[in-house]
């Protein structure tokens, strides 16, 4: 999984260079997920937060951010994010 995650980060870096700022949510969230798989949690969280600034309701970014928080032993933040997902009805879709 690590070689494919490294390749994904490289591809997503190129994609982000080409995208308009308002169209970067998917690429940022995907790169955040790739960083998560590489256990580069700070970079993952940064990308996920940036994605969520563009689209606060992006379910993929929100769920991935919960995973990152848990991996970083930030359970309170993970719990709060999960509660927001349930309140929004998003968690039932994942």
- CATH number assigned to the domain with residue range 2-93, chosen from the 4 options 1.10.10.10, 1.25.40.10, 3.40.50.720, 3.30.460.80: 1.25.40.10
SS (H, E, C) the chain: CHHHHHHHHHHHHHHHHHCCHHHCHHHHHHHHHHHHHCCCHHHHHHHHHHHHHHCCCCHHHHHHHHHHHHHCCCHHHHHHHHHHHHHHCCHHHC
Map out the domains of the chain as residue ranges: 2-93
What is the pLDDT at residue 76?
Answer: 98
Mean pLDDT per block of 10 residues along the chain (94 residues) reads 79 76 84 95 98 94 98 97 89 54
């Amino acid at each position: 999984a690590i070689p494919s995650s490294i390749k994904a980060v490289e591809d997503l870096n190129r994609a982000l260079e080409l995208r308009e700022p308002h169209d970067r949510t998917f690429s940022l969230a995907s790169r955040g997920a790739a960083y998560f798989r590489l256990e580069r949690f700070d970079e993952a969280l940064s990308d996920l937060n940036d994605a969520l600034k563009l689209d606060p309701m992006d379910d993929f970014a929100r769920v991935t951010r919960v995973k990152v928080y848990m991996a970083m032993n930030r359970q309170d933040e993970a719990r709060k994010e999960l509660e927001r997902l349930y309140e929004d009805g998003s968690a039932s879709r994942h």
